[in-house]
Amino acid sequence: MTWQIVLLGPPGAGKGTHAKILSDRYRIPHISTGDILRSQIQQETSLGKHAKSFIDNGKLVPDELVVEMMKTRLQDPDVRHGFILDGFPRTVEQARALDEILSIKKMPLSLVLEFDTSEDVIVDRLSGRWSCSNCGANYHVRNIPPAKEGICDRCGQPLVQRKDDEPETVRERLRVYRDQTAPLIEFYEKRKLLRVVSGDLDVGPLQEELAQSMKCL
Ligand code: AP5
Protein backbone atom coordinates (compact mmCIF):
# COMPACT_ATOMS: atom_id res chain seq x y z
CA MET A 1 0.00 0.00 0.00
CA THR A 2 1.21 3.54 -0.75
CA TRP A 3 0.29 6.80 1.01
CA GLN A 4 -0.80 9.84 -0.92
CA ILE A 5 -1.06 12.69 1.59
CA VAL A 6 -1.89 16.39 1.26
CA LEU A 7 -0.90 18.94 3.92
CA LEU A 8 -3.31 21.86 3.94
CA GLY A 9 -2.98 25.04 5.97
CA PRO A 10 -2.19 28.75 5.93
CA PRO A 11 1.29 30.19 5.34
CA GLY A 12 3.54 29.54 8.32
CA ALA A 13 1.33 26.74 9.69
CA GLY A 14 4.31 24.39 9.75
CA LYS A 15 3.50 22.32 6.65
CA GLY A 16 7.07 22.34 5.31
CA THR A 17 8.66 21.61 8.69
CA HIS A 18 6.38 18.62 9.35
CA ALA A 19 6.41 17.36 5.76
CA LYS A 20 10.21 16.99 5.98
CA ILE A 21 9.97 15.03 9.25
CA LEU A 22 7.18 12.77 7.93
CA SER A 23 9.06 12.23 4.68
CA ASP A 24 12.17 11.03 6.59
CA ARG A 25 10.12 8.89 8.97
CA TYR A 26 7.92 7.16 6.38
CA ARG A 27 10.40 7.31 3.47
CA ILE A 28 8.03 8.95 1.02
CA PRO A 29 8.93 12.03 -1.05
CA HIS A 30 8.02 15.51 0.16
CA ILE A 31 6.81 17.58 -2.77
CA SER A 32 6.55 21.30 -2.07
CA THR A 33 5.26 23.54 -4.85
CA GLY A 34 6.79 26.55 -3.06
CA ASP A 35 10.25 24.90 -3.05
CA ILE A 36 9.95 23.88 -6.72
CA LEU A 37 8.88 27.40 -7.74
CA ARG A 38 11.68 29.05 -5.72
CA SER A 39 14.19 26.73 -7.39
CA GLN A 40 12.79 27.68 -10.82
CA ILE A 41 13.23 31.35 -9.89
CA GLN A 42 16.81 30.74 -8.79
CA GLN A 43 17.57 28.95 -12.07
CA GLU A 44 15.89 31.80 -14.01
CA THR A 45 13.74 29.41 -16.07
CA SER A 46 10.77 30.81 -18.00
CA LEU A 47 8.41 29.36 -15.35
CA GLY A 48 10.52 30.98 -12.63
CA LYS A 49 10.48 34.36 -14.39
CA HIS A 50 6.71 34.17 -14.77
CA ALA A 51 6.10 33.01 -11.17
CA LYS A 52 8.39 35.52 -9.42
CA SER A 53 6.11 38.56 -9.33
CA PHE A 54 3.15 36.49 -8.10
CA ILE A 55 5.21 35.02 -5.26
CA ASP A 56 6.85 38.32 -4.30
CA ASN A 57 3.41 39.92 -4.05
CA GLY A 58 1.83 37.10 -2.05
CA LYS A 59 -0.49 36.03 -4.89
CA LEU A 60 -1.00 32.52 -6.23
CA VAL A 61 0.85 31.52 -9.39
CA PRO A 62 -1.82 30.83 -12.09
CA ASP A 63 -3.42 27.38 -11.86
CA GLU A 64 -2.45 26.27 -15.37
CA LEU A 65 1.28 26.80 -14.68
CA VAL A 66 1.24 25.03 -11.33
CA VAL A 67 -0.89 22.14 -12.58
CA GLU A 68 1.44 21.58 -15.55
CA MET A 69 4.46 21.67 -13.21
CA MET A 70 2.85 19.11 -10.89
CA LYS A 71 1.75 16.84 -13.76
CA THR A 72 5.43 16.58 -14.65
CA ARG A 73 6.65 16.12 -11.05
CA LEU A 74 4.08 13.41 -10.34
CA GLN A 75 5.47 11.33 -13.22
CA ASP A 76 8.87 10.99 -11.49
CA PRO A 77 9.77 7.43 -10.43
CA ASP A 78 10.01 8.18 -6.68
CA VAL A 79 6.29 8.95 -6.61
CA ARG A 80 5.33 5.31 -7.06
CA HIS A 81 6.01 4.90 -3.31
CA GLY A 82 3.45 7.62 -2.48
CA PHE A 83 4.05 11.28 -1.58
CA ILE A 84 3.39 14.16 0.79
CA LEU A 85 2.12 17.24 -1.03
CA ASP A 86 2.90 20.57 0.67
CA GLY A 87 1.29 23.66 -0.85
CA PHE A 88 -0.68 21.83 -3.55
CA PRO A 89 -3.55 21.90 -4.25
CA ARG A 90 -4.33 25.49 -3.31
CA THR A 91 -7.51 26.14 -5.28
CA VAL A 92 -10.56 24.00 -6.07
CA GLU A 93 -9.42 23.96 -9.71
CA GLN A 94 -6.03 22.53 -8.67
CA ALA A 95 -7.78 19.93 -6.48
CA ARG A 96 -9.86 18.78 -9.45
CA ALA A 97 -6.76 18.61 -11.64
CA LEU A 98 -5.00 16.56 -8.95
CA ASP A 99 -7.94 14.12 -8.85
CA GLU A 100 -7.57 13.63 -12.60
CA ILE A 101 -3.80 13.09 -12.45
CA LEU A 102 -4.15 10.58 -9.61
CA SER A 103 -7.05 8.72 -11.18
CA ILE A 104 -4.90 8.08 -14.29
CA LYS A 105 -2.11 6.84 -12.00
CA LYS A 106 -4.61 4.77 -9.96
CA MET A 107 -3.21 6.36 -6.80
CA PRO A 108 -6.14 8.04 -5.01
CA LEU A 109 -5.51 10.43 -2.11
CA SER A 110 -5.28 8.66 1.26
CA LEU A 111 -5.58 11.62 3.63
CA VAL A 112 -5.68 15.42 3.82
CA LEU A 113 -4.21 16.85 7.03
CA GLU A 114 -5.40 20.37 7.80
CA PHE A 115 -3.16 22.44 10.10
CA ASP A 116 -5.53 24.57 12.19
CA THR A 117 -3.23 27.45 13.15
CA SER A 118 -4.10 30.83 14.68
CA GLU A 119 -3.05 34.11 13.06
CA ASP A 120 -0.93 35.26 16.04
CA VAL A 121 1.14 32.07 15.80
CA ILE A 122 1.50 32.43 12.03
CA VAL A 123 2.77 36.01 12.27
CA ASP A 124 5.27 35.01 14.97
CA ARG A 125 6.52 32.00 12.99
CA LEU A 126 6.95 33.84 9.72
CA SER A 127 8.65 36.88 11.22
CA GLY A 128 11.19 34.55 12.89
CA ARG A 129 11.73 32.12 10.00
CA TRP A 130 15.18 31.72 8.44
CA SER A 131 15.77 29.26 5.58
CA CYS A 132 18.93 27.85 4.09
CA SER A 133 19.87 29.52 0.83
CA ASN A 134 21.32 26.21 -0.37
CA CYS A 135 19.28 23.20 0.87
CA GLY A 136 16.04 24.92 1.93
CA ALA A 137 16.13 23.69 5.57
CA ASN A 138 13.87 25.80 7.81
CA TYR A 139 14.69 27.36 11.18
CA HIS A 140 13.00 29.70 13.59
CA VAL A 141 15.00 32.28 15.48
CA ARG A 142 13.48 31.17 18.82
CA ASN A 143 11.55 27.89 18.35
CA ILE A 144 13.99 25.97 16.13
CA PRO A 145 17.30 27.87 16.14
CA PRO A 146 20.36 26.63 14.23
CA ALA A 147 23.36 25.53 16.33
CA LYS A 148 25.38 28.46 14.92
CA GLU A 149 23.54 31.72 14.29
CA GLY A 150 22.88 32.41 10.60
CA ILE A 151 24.38 29.10 9.40
CA CYS A 152 22.56 25.95 8.25
CA ASP A 153 23.16 22.90 10.52
CA ARG A 154 22.81 20.55 7.55
CA CYS A 155 25.07 22.09 4.91
CA GLY A 156 26.87 25.02 6.54
CA GLN A 157 25.51 27.60 4.07
CA PRO A 158 24.09 31.03 5.09
CA LEU A 159 20.49 31.37 6.24
CA VAL A 160 18.25 33.99 4.60
CA GLN A 161 14.78 35.44 5.19
CA ARG A 162 12.17 34.95 2.48
CA LYS A 163 11.09 38.14 0.70
CA ASP A 164 7.43 37.05 0.94
CA ASP A 165 7.72 36.90 4.76
CA GLU A 166 7.60 40.71 4.97
CA PRO A 167 4.56 41.71 7.10
CA GLU A 168 2.55 43.29 4.26
CA THR A 169 3.08 40.28 1.97
CA VAL A 170 2.18 37.89 4.81
CA ARG A 171 -1.13 39.75 5.25
CA GLU A 172 -1.83 39.31 1.51
CA ARG A 173 -0.91 35.59 1.63
CA LEU A 174 -3.33 35.11 4.52
CA ARG A 175 -6.08 36.90 2.60
CA VAL A 176 -5.41 34.72 -0.46
CA TYR A 177 -5.49 31.61 1.76
CA ARG A 178 -8.89 32.54 3.19
CA ASP A 179 -10.36 33.35 -0.25
CA GLN A 180 -8.86 30.70 -2.50
CA THR A 181 -7.49 27.83 -0.42
CA ALA A 182 -9.79 27.54 2.63
CA PRO A 183 -12.70 26.31 0.39
CA LEU A 184 -10.67 23.10 0.01
CA ILE A 185 -11.48 22.25 3.64
CA GLU A 186 -15.12 21.66 2.72
CA PHE A 187 -14.11 20.06 -0.60
CA TYR A 188 -12.11 17.34 1.21
CA GLU A 189 -14.50 17.10 4.18
CA LYS A 190 -17.24 16.04 1.75
CA ARG A 191 -14.93 13.33 0.40
CA LYS A 192 -14.23 12.13 3.97
CA LEU A 193 -10.49 12.62 3.52
CA LEU A 194 -9.96 15.48 5.99
CA ARG A 195 -8.35 15.28 9.45
CA VAL A 196 -7.67 18.43 11.45
CA VAL A 197 -4.50 18.78 13.57
CA SER A 198 -3.63 21.53 16.06
CA GLY A 199 -1.14 23.63 14.12
CA ASP A 200 -0.37 25.85 17.14
CA LEU A 201 1.37 22.99 18.97
CA ASP A 202 5.15 22.77 19.24
CA VAL A 203 6.90 20.47 16.76
CA GLY A 204 7.11 17.36 19.04
CA PRO A 205 3.46 17.25 20.18
CA LEU A 206 2.24 18.07 16.68
CA GLN A 207 4.28 15.19 15.21
CA GLU A 208 2.55 12.92 17.76
CA GLU A 209 -0.85 14.18 16.63
CA LEU A 210 0.08 13.66 12.98
CA ALA A 211 1.25 10.12 13.71
CA GLN A 212 -2.08 9.40 15.45
CA SER A 213 -4.00 10.74 12.44
CA MET A 214 -1.94 8.56 10.11
CA LYS A 215 -2.68 5.40 12.10
CA CYS A 216 -6.04 5.18 10.30
CA LEU A 217 -4.22 4.49 7.01
P1 AP5 B 1 4.90 28.09 -0.02
O2 AP5 B 1 6.36 28.02 0.02
O3 AP5 B 1 4.10 26.85 -0.17
O4 AP5 B 1 4.44 28.92 1.25
P5 AP5 B 1 3.21 28.76 2.23
O6 AP5 B 1 2.18 27.74 1.93
O7 AP5 B 1 2.71 30.14 2.33
O8 AP5 B 1 3.82 28.14 3.45
P9 AP5 B 1 5.13 28.52 4.16
O10 AP5 B 1 6.29 27.87 3.49
O11 AP5 B 1 5.22 30.01 4.39
O12 AP5 B 1 4.83 27.92 5.60
P13 AP5 B 1 4.76 26.44 6.12
O14 AP5 B 1 3.36 26.09 6.48
O15 AP5 B 1 5.50 25.49 5.25
O16 AP5 B 1 5.54 26.68 7.50
P17 AP5 B 1 7.05 26.31 7.89
O18 AP5 B 1 7.12 24.84 8.13
O19 AP5 B 1 8.02 26.92 6.97
O20 AP5 B 1 4.42 29.06 -1.21
C21 AP5 B 1 5.05 30.29 -1.44
C22 AP5 B 1 4.37 30.96 -2.63
O23 AP5 B 1 4.52 30.14 -3.82
C24 AP5 B 1 2.87 31.18 -2.52
O25 AP5 B 1 2.55 32.36 -1.82
C26 AP5 B 1 2.45 31.24 -4.00
O27 AP5 B 1 2.79 32.47 -4.56
C28 AP5 B 1 3.36 30.19 -4.64
N29 AP5 B 1 2.72 28.86 -4.66
C30 AP5 B 1 3.11 27.75 -3.99
N31 AP5 B 1 2.28 26.73 -4.23
C32 AP5 B 1 1.34 27.20 -5.10
C33 AP5 B 1 0.20 26.62 -5.71
N34 AP5 B 1 -0.16 25.34 -5.48
N35 AP5 B 1 -0.57 27.39 -6.52
C36 AP5 B 1 -0.22 28.67 -6.77
N37 AP5 B 1 0.84 29.29 -6.22
C38 AP5 B 1 1.62 28.56 -5.38
O39 AP5 B 1 7.11 27.02 9.32
C40 AP5 B 1 7.18 28.43 9.44
C41 AP5 B 1 8.15 28.80 10.59
O42 AP5 B 1 7.66 28.31 11.85
C43 AP5 B 1 9.54 28.20 10.43
O44 AP5 B 1 10.46 29.14 10.92
C45 AP5 B 1 9.53 26.95 11.32
O46 AP5 B 1 10.84 26.70 11.80
C47 AP5 B 1 8.58 27.38 12.45
N48 AP5 B 1 7.73 26.28 12.93
C49 AP5 B 1 7.07 25.38 12.15
N50 AP5 B 1 6.34 24.55 12.91
C51 AP5 B 1 6.52 24.93 14.18
C52 AP5 B 1 5.99 24.47 15.43
N53 AP5 B 1 5.14 23.45 15.49
N54 AP5 B 1 6.38 25.10 16.56
C55 AP5 B 1 7.20 26.14 16.50
N56 AP5 B 1 7.74 26.63 15.36
C57 AP5 B 1 7.40 26.04 14.20
- Which pLDDT score, from 0 to 100, does residue 216 have? 79
Q: How far is the CA of 15 from the centre of ligand 1 (A)?
A: 6
Q: How far is the CA of 61 from the centre of ligand 1 (A)?
A: 15
Where the chain has pLDDT below 70, the residues are none
Q: Distance between CA 31 and CA 98 in Å, rounded?
A: 13
The residues that are catalytic are 15, 90, 129, 162, 173
Q: Name which of 24, 111, 33, 15 is nearest 72 in CA terms.
A: 33
Q: Distance between CA 211 and CA 193 in Å, rounded?
A: 16
Cis peptide before 89 (omega within 30 of 0): yes
123 lines ligand 1 (CB under 6 A): no
CATH number of this structure's domain 3-116+175-197, picked from the four choices 2.40.50.140, 3.40.50.300, 3.40.250.10, 3.20.20.100: 3.40.50.300
- Residues facing residue 6 across a β-bridge: 85, 112
Q: How far is the CA of 86 from the centre of ligand 1 (A)?
A: 8
Strand 30-32 relative to strand 82-86, pairing: parallel
Q: How far is the CA of 5 from the centre of ligand 1 (A)?
A: 16
Q: Does the reported pTM lie above 0.85?
A: yes
- Which pLDDT score, from 0 to 100, does residue 130 have? 95
Atom of ligand 1 nearest to the CA of 58: 25
- Which pLDDT score, from 0 to 100, does residue 157 have? 96
Pocket test for ligand 1, best of 7, 60, 175, 202 (most atoms within 8 A of CB): 60
The SS3 call for residue 114 is strand
Q: Distance between CA 128 and CA 27 in Å, rounded?
A: 29
73 lines ligand 1 (CB under 6 A): no
Pocket test for ligand 1, best of 31, 61, 179, 198 (most atoms within 8 A of CB): 61
Strand 138-140 relative to strand 129-132, pairing: antiparallel
Enumerate the domain spans of the chain. Answer: 3-116+175-197
Atom of ligand 1 nearest to the CA of 18: 18
Q: How far is the CA of 105 from the centre of ligand 1 (A)?
A: 27
- Which pLDDT score, from 0 to 100, does residue 72 have? 97
Q: Name which of 13, 12, 2 is nearest 196 in CA terms.
A: 13
